Structure 1
Amino acid sequence: MARKKIVIVGGGVAGLGLASALGRQGKYNKKNPLDITVLDRDSAHVWKPMLHTIAAGTSDISQQQTTYVAHARDCGFSYQPGELNGVERQLKQVFVKELNAPDGRRLVPERTIAYDTLVLALGSEANDFGTPGVKEHCYMIDSRIQADAFNREVRLRMFQCLGLDQQLSIAIVGGGATGVELAAELVRLTEIAESYGAQGLGSKISITLIQSGPRLLDAFPPAISEAVQQKLELLRVKVLTNTRVTAADEHGLSIQGGERIAATMLVWAAGVKAPQVLSEIDGLACTRNNQLIINPHLQTIGDPSIYAIGDCASLTLGDAVRPLPPTAQVAHQQATYLIHNLPRMLDGKRVSEFRYRNLGALVSLGEYDAYASLGQFGLFKDGYIRGKLAQLSHAMLYRSHQSNLHGFWRGSALWTVDQLNKLVRPSIRLD
């Protein structure tokens, strides 16, 4: 009996979690019916809620990444490097863009990968809403590569501050979790750098956080939004709400009303959309933000052999007015659903529909504070917590993610290594 080919496009929280679990289930089973392949344009995975710490340099990228090739070997699936370039649904093939070296040389020409079942888990990226100049002049931190690029540049700019006695102004557009957490981590980067001898650096760096709506973190309870803004302002972050950016250029931002915000470095962390390539797949229903519309079994509308999970999928459950939010929590729950049910669905068995449990949300201001809304369940329904308990909850989410990918014992070993590195390695990236 031929093994069923499952191709998972995207090695993020949802895609890699699904591949790891299904791969481990069949690794030592000689009758394993599944042949799993992960396609991703990067060479390693980083937990997306940690990208802001890598961008700031307060986490070491080499310690926090999971290399796909090694992880695929350990978990019993295959890894293919490359970027999705389209899907031929009738032939059941995905098109992969040609693979080029950093200097432009073509390493691998465009190719195809056949599938029986396709799982699209490409995640999301910031949405520039067509704002002029954003693509040319703003950094984004939606991926490991983008976060590392920003960190390299911010460290160079900090050296200029010290060596040339210049000012460094950083403007972050987007008052969601990414923008808020990045602002706090940049403050922490500056403080630690001063402790290593960069005297006066804090007085040379200014950070502005810009939100188009009336409050930060509009997906959180208003009490958390207010508390976070107060904390950021105590950290000397300038917070601007009800401020819509109309253009970006090499010298800063233009805002509605004709005013200007001068800045040395610009970060765009506003809005969410799925990759454009998804909207170009013929015959699949899609939202205006390129998300594929799926049914409660996580199958795309138009092709039951193609599934979509995580940020690139749009699912509206029951009588809900809005689709589920693009969060790591939703992506993890959808991956867990397919881990338990995809093999059964492929065998033609009936399974229950996906159910979402809102367990709340977390936002961390690094070492300064953390806030957690408690969701719809538990003793403190719709309440929130802050401080050490919230920081611990945030840390445990990451450890849970590591355990899901690597198993309990290896995940525990990684946690131990992280704790040892905190004792023997610098607190920020200094290379």
Structure 2
Amino acid sequence: MPHRIVIVGGGAGGLELAVRLGKKLGKQKKIHITLVDASRTHLWKPLLHQVAAGTLDSHADEREYFSLARSNYFDFRLGRMDGLNRAQKEIYLAPTITEDDEELLPRQALPYDTLVLALGSQTNDFGTLGAREHCIMLDSLPAAERFHKKLVNCCLRAQTQSMSSGEGRFTVTIIGGGATGVELAAELHMTTKILSSYGLINFHPEKDLKIVIIDAAPRLLQMLPERLSAAVAKELRSIAVEVHTNEKVASVSKDGVTMVSGKFIPSGIVVWAAGIKAPEFLQQLDGLESNHINQLIVNRQLQSSRDTAIFALGDCCCCPQAEGLPAVPPRAQSAHQQASMLAKSLERMLQGKPLLEFQYKDHGSLVSLGNYSTVGSLMGALSSGSIIIEGTIAKWMYWSLHKQHQIAVNGLFHTWLSTWAETIDRVRNPRIKLH
């Protein structure tokens, strides 16, 4: 029987690992690879803010796992992992329920020889009162689509109501001044300006919609140099986005957001985009070691600290770097690098060779403000320090990050074709999704 590798999680890291192993070893029937995910389709997570704003139609960018599995020599299993038996080397998948509350798939057990957990992360509300009940957590495609529908409904309502800058003004409050929050704010402003040109003559973006960002840190975008952070804040304020830094959220209600300082912001929609944690069930997963945000503790070979047959990558793991450095940051580039290394490492393991050690290379950060600006800091590749980039060059580099992921998953030729299709769709379709 071929060696069975089960990968749980079809995000950037998990899917790239499945594709790499499938092309290299699955095609030759040397191993049997199974990818497990609770969704039927894959969407690159950094695009969620564009789906929420309506500037990206998710259906145009989604890829079917079953189709990817067929063309890349691995199997796909639909299901949500909720348990593990390390002694029997089995994972357990919860029953899959349809929208009509009917059982589509029963509870399943899936055996493995090597298990790779690539479950990603979810929003961490830090136990803030009312956050779960009254915020949209922008960490999944359904959440992004739900936000977009609420936004369009708000604009349609404004079309038929006399709204002013007083009490009737609709406010979208974004909690979190990291890349997701900042990018969402800029995309929202652009979306509402475009919406007003599609026959919503009574809807005035500046008058009828207010966008607010709240962050507990002293400045936005802590991962960027201070000069770039200040430039982004200035750009946001120039398009009437209200920025509140050094403000910690105390509670969220159906009426708005209350800060620890006592300040209250009335809000129609509240988006939580601050902080991450791994899925809750990882904290009690058959004795595996985890940290305070549920991430599995792994060594530099990405092996679980308590089971050498279990690996983890991406946001759901806490991986050490060299002595004196913090753990590998939970970023898309980390998952991409770990998937690439682990594909080579698992092949070596099957050949009886020692595993490779993961070495994180920080290539910097890029933040897009829609059509307004793109800024970033590049590290390592071009110099011993960092290089600040802005404008057109930064826009092209931001665009290329998505293309690199598409090439890793779909191959160069398919990515080339889909890029041309995207170009044609921009001419044929509205600039934003209107439903």
- Displacement of 1:27 after TM fit? 4.9
Deviation string, structure 1 residues 194-220 (Cα, Å, up to 9, x no partner): 222323330201100000110011111
Q: Which residues in structure 2 correspond to 1:331-350 (within 5 Å)?
A: 331-350=335-354
Deviation string, structure 1 residues 330-384 (Cα, Å, up to 9, x no partner): 0000000012221211332114311111111111111111111112341372231
**2:404 maps to what in 1?**
400
Q: Which residues in structure 2 correspond to 1:262-301 (within 5 Å)?
A: 262-301=266-305
* 1:47 is the counterpart of 2:44: yes
User: Residues of 2 paired with 1:305 and 1:193: CA distance?
Assistant: 52
Q: State the number of aligned residues.
A: 428
Structure 2, unmatched stretches of 5+, are 164-168
**2:166 maps to what in 1?**
none
Contact 2:123-2:275 within 8 A present in 1 as well: yes
SS in 2 for 1:73: helix
User: Residues of 2 paired with 1:93 and 1:162: CA distance?
Assistant: 55
- Displacement of 1:185 after TM fit? 0.5
* 1:234 is the counterpart of 2:231: no
Which deviates more from structure 2 when the two are superposed, residues 211-220 or residues 159-168?
A: 159-168
Structure 1, unmatched stretches of 5+, are none
**2:62 maps to what in 1?**
65
**1:177 maps to what in 2?**
179
**2:258 maps to what in 1?**
254
**2:74 maps to what in 1?**
77
Contact 1:374-1:380 within 8 A present in 2 as well: no
Which deviates more from structure 2 when the two are superposed, residues 232-241 or residues 166-175?
A: 166-175
User: Residues of 1 paired with 2:392 and 2:339: CA distance?
Assistant: 29
Deviation string, structure 1 residues 118-149 (Cα, Å, up to 9, x no partner): 11001111100001111111001111121112
**2:13 maps to what in 1?**
14
* Pair 401,183 (structure 1): closer, same or farther in 2 beyond 3 Å: same
Q: Which residues in structure 2 correspond to 1:81-230 (within 5 Å)?
A: 81-166=78-163, 167-199=169-201, 200-202=203-205, 203-230=207-234
Contact 1:362-1:373 within 8 A present in 2 as well: yes
**Cα RMSD for the two superposed structures:** 1.3
Q: Give the TM-score normalised by structure 2.
A: 0.96
User: Residues of 2 paired with 1:23 and 1:390: CA distance?
Assistant: 34
Contact 2:136-2:147 within 8 A present in 1 as well: yes
User: Residues of 2 paired with 1:16 and 1:216: CA distance?
Assistant: 31
Contact 1:358-1:377 within 8 A present in 2 as well: no
- Displacement of 1:28 after TM fit? 3.8
**1:355 maps to what in 2?**
359
**Which one of the candidate residues 297, 317, 322 is aligned to 1:318?**
322
User: Residues of 1 paired with 2:152 and 2:349: CA distance?
Assistant: 50
**1:25 maps to what in 2?**
24
Contact 2:346-2:355 within 8 A present in 1 as well: no
Deviation string, structure 1 residues 94-133 (Cα, Å, up to 9, x no partner): 1111110112222222211111111100111110000111
Q: Percent identical across equivalent pairs?
A: 38
SS in 1 for 2:101: coil
Which deviates more from structure 2 when the two are superposed, residues 75-84 or residues 326-335?
A: 75-84
User: Residues of 1 paired with 2:396 and 2:162: CA distance?
Assistant: 39
* Pair 28,91 (structure 1): closer, same or farther in 2 beyond 3 Å: closer
- Letter paired with 1:224: L
User: Residues of 2 paired with 1:215 and 1:42: CA distance?
Assistant: 36
Contact 1:84-1:277 within 8 A present in 2 as well: no
Q: Give the TM-score normalised by structure 1.
A: 0.97
Q: Which residues in structure 2 correspond to 1:349-388 (within 5 Å)?
A: 349-379=353-383, 381-388=385-392
- Letter paired with 2:9: G
- Letter paired with 2:20: A
SS in 2 for 1:35: strand
- Displacement of 1:81 after TM fit? 1.2
Deviation string, structure 1 residues 18-39 (Cα, Å, up to 9, x no partner): 111111224542xx22111111
User: Residues of 2 paired with 1:326 and 1:241: CA distance?
Assistant: 23
Contact 1:158-1:168 within 8 A present in 2 as well: no
SS in 1 for 2:200: coil
- Letter paired with 1:195: S
**1:5 maps to what in 2?**
4
SS in 2 for 1:195: coil
